[in-house]
Structure 1
């Protein structure tokens, strides 16, 4: 792995930590915080790609696991990985990979609308696909009830985050692309 790849991985793990500085907005009925950190997987995958983005998220999660208070609200250690809302954290890892993979596949056609759709698929769809069933199982809430509660509380803000992430992804792609175009994209 090249030195610049290691720097990008560390830089985006640090960006994820910075997104945790913004105080969480707790939804009392669900006990799940709304955080800026859910935009992190969108940025990591969309800017770094699947491999480097996923490694960056793994680095961030490892730093949290060893006790650094990098999650929104100053949380760290192993406790955040076993609570009712932990599935959303695991969803970040899957979402980062999916967003990176999709961004790489559509690199030659990447536009704001497409980047937005990719951010929504990974940053909302994948995270909810992992997080909501985990939350329902751990909290004793029904799956439909957990989904409806999450959809009402989180989707509007997550759509805004996906829009911001898509704009940043496109701006970085134009100014300083960190994902190399695939061979087929270069010849097109």
Structure 2
């Protein structure tokens, strides 16, 4: 099966736009965080991709960024790229973006209507929880740290990630109100279809 038979042209365009957005957010220099830890903006793009595109297209958009990183393009924060990124302490976080974006999308689009609280839960569970669940063990392995120590070291980024989850929620809700066609089409539930007949 070809890529175009799985993804419509509209899907491919939106995947490309969000891959570009994630890359562009990497160009934003680290922002001083609330506890003195710098915050990078790319995970905001991952959360937004899930909230806007849904699970499948969001995972595809992030996969494009990961592939571009692997071929050596400097698409990550700080101009990083290349295979060396995948053996460093942040490799798990980068790979965690793919399932993280998918989980954001699954939760954000789970109901019959788009709700801000589902976006917020998705951003926290997928955009933080899933990424940390993959990133922290890989960081511990690469750095030779006990898992608990790696978790404590990573916890300093949590306030910044919570801020990004809040920003992603606000932006996704505002975009849905202003331009709902950017979001996946919702199929009517069987009961609703029967009522409309």
TM-score normalised according to structure 2 size: 0.85
The structure having more radius of gyration, on CA atoms, is 2
Unmatched runs of 5 consecutive residues or more in structure 1: none
Unmatched runs of 5 consecutive residues or more in structure 2: 1-6
Compared with structure 1, are the counterparts of its residues 22 and 99 closer, same or farther at alpha carbon in structure 2 (3 Å cutoff)? same
The answer (yes or no) to whether the contact 1:108–1:185 under 8 Å persists in 2 is no
- The RMSD of aligned alpha carbons is 2.2
Secondary structure of the corresponding residue to residue 183 of structure 1: coil
Q: State the distance in 2 between where 1:99 and 1:61 align.
A: 18
| Farther-moved stretch of structure 1 (1-10 vs 156-165) | 1-10
1:78 equivalent to 2:83? Answer yes
Q: State the distance in 1 between where 2:109 and 2:82 align.
A: 33
> Which aligned runs of 4 or more in structure 1 are off by greater than 3 angstroms?
24-27
Q: Deviations over 1:89-112 (max 9, x none)?
A: 01111101111111221351512x
| Farther-moved stretch of structure 1 (115-124 vs 168-177) | 168-177
Aligned to 2:4: none
When the two structures are aligned, how many residues end up with a matched partner? Answer: 182
Equivalent of 1:161 in 164, 178, 185: 164
Equivalent of 1:63 in 53, 64, 68: 68
Distance apart, 1:187 and its partner CA:
2.8
Secondary structure of the corresponding residue to residue 77 of structure 2: coil
TM-score normalised according to structure 1 size: 0.89
Aligned to 2:40: 35
Q: State the distance in 1 between where 2:31 and 2:146 align.
A: 23
